Chain A
Amino acid sequence: MINLFFLESFCKIYIFHFFFFSLLNLFTFIKNFLYNTELLFQSSFLLVNQLIKLIELEEKILFFFFKFFKVLVLSLYFVLIYLLKLLIYCNFYMILLILPLLISVAYLTLVERKVIGASQRRFGPNVVGLFGIGQPLADGLKLFFKETILPTHSNKFIFFFSPIIVFLCFIKLVCYTFKIRVCDC
């Protein structure tokens, strides 16, 4: 029996990430709305213009804030959630199986790029860290801090949950294949 709290937190962070960035887009939405109202009520042009200016200023301040503290806030949330979950249900086997798995998946990409590079007579990734050891971490961080885009024509519910389904399936698979007597031997 494997406690799925780790996966749960992973999915939760995904959901959080989505809502976080949608909040950021709220201000642009308000701005567009006000532009539309401007077209409709040209008599109250001055007032609307002032409002737009105000909102733009607010947006600039917010952007300034997030430009420098986005990383900090997100990482703090990440760390807090993980620590809480680890403290509440500390399932030893779960950590023993899934954390190395995620790390090994990340470093498999590095190994792949290195081997392909060697076969084509060039260095693989060798900029981030020693011999490119930090490359998978950098890639992961980049992906994490990108915006989640929901295409307008997509079926949003299924679009959102299908990567989670695939991920859970494969993680469960690997956990099963790795767990055979890893601890007993």
Chain B
Amino acid sequence: MIADVELGVLYFLAISSLSVYGIVLAGWSSNSKYAFLGALRSTAQMISYEVSIGLILLATLLPVGSLNLTYIVFFQEDLWLIFSQWVLFLLFFVSSLAETNRAPFDLPEAEAELVSGYNVEYSSMGFALFFLAEYANIIAMSVIITIVFLGGWLTIFSIPFSIIFIAKILFILILFIWVRTTFPRFRYDQLMRLGWKVFLPLSLFFFFVSLVLVSFSFFV
């Protein structure tokens, strides 16, 4: 059966933060400097950007008033949230890049410094599982962006639901790849500064802005 969880976004955040444990254990148990440093880096990165991701999601979903993903999509029938919350969309996109360890924030896999990050010692199926998990994480992030900001399966010009949903997801995925091809890698202190000193205050600021706007019933 397909469950429609009432606190869907919270479930999403919980499961995505759970995977940090696997990465830490992988880096620690392989007893290699490179793997350990890669695991530490990716853990620090994921945890520090999860904070801003949670705050951004809160700020965007304040006008919706629900964490149920179905309800979020039905709320956007008049106007997709990307048009009213485009700044938060940009913030969310960049911090999801950092969350999934993608370029330009792919510091755990910096080939020049660390060989391949936390999965250096893994060879065949172990490596395959890590690889699949990484790409599955990217897909999950793009699906969440589609649902929260791009109006999920809501259509224009009466295109079928499934096709437009997948087209939106593909658009976000290609955006991910496009960013990877164009931008050089950040330095680690730059990454941390961006996370804690730029994104966290900005997301808090927008949280309060949308709180004020909701209290004056600006959106509805």
Contact = CB atoms under 8 A, between A and B. Distances in A.
Interface of A: 1, 13-14, 17-18, 93, 101-102, 104-105, 108-109, 111-112, 115-116, 119-120, 140, 143-149, 151, 153-167, 169-174, 176-185
Contacts, number: 179
Given A93-B1, A116-B177, A173-B16, A143 B69 contact: no
Contacts of A185: 153, 161-162, 165
A137 B25 CA distance: 29
Contact of B126 (A120, A148, A171, A182): A148
Contacts of A102: 132
A147 B28 contact: no
Contact of B136 (A120, A164, A165, A171): A171
B160 to A, nearest CB: 9
A157 B26 CA distance: 10
A164 B129 contact: yes
B12 to A, nearest CB: 7
B15 A115 contact: no
Interface stretch (B88-96, B104-112, B117-125, B193-201): B117-125
A182 B15 contact: no
B215 interface: no
- Pairs A-B, 6 closest by C-beta atoms: A166-B22, A146-B124, A165-B22, A158-B29, A169-B19, A162-B26
B66 interface: no
B129 A167 contact: yes
A122 B147 CA distance: 34
Given A93-B2, A149-B123, A177 B140 contact: yes
Nearest to A178: B143
Q: Which of the listed residues B15, B138, B161, B181 has the most CB atoms from chain A within 10 Å of its own CB?
A: B15
Contacts of B126: 14, 148, 160, 163
28 contacts: A18-B125, A102-B132, A105-B132, A105-B136, A119-B178, A140-B128, A143-B125, A143-B128, A146-B123, A148-B125, A151-B31, A154-B29, A155-B28, A155-B29, A155-B31, A158-B25, A158-B26, A159-B29, A162-B22, A162-B25, A164-B129, A165-B22, A169-B16, A170-B136, A171-B132, A173-B19, A179-B2, A180-B69
Given A1-B3, A116-B177, A167-B132, A174 B140 contact: yes
Interface of B: 1-5, 8, 11-12, 15-16, 18-19, 21-23, 25-26, 28-32, 69-70, 73, 119, 121-140, 143-144, 147, 152-153, 161-162, 165, 173-174, 177-178, 180-182
B135 A108 contact: yes
Given A102-B132, A159-B26, A154 B124 contact: no
B26 A151 contact: no
Given A143-B128, A154-B121, A170-B133, 18 more contacts: A14-B125, A14-B129, A102-B132, A104-B139, A108-B135, A109-B131, A115-B181, A162-B25, A162-B26, A164-B129, A165-B25, A166-B133, A167-B130, A170-B140, A176-B11, A181-B2, A182-B162, A185-B161
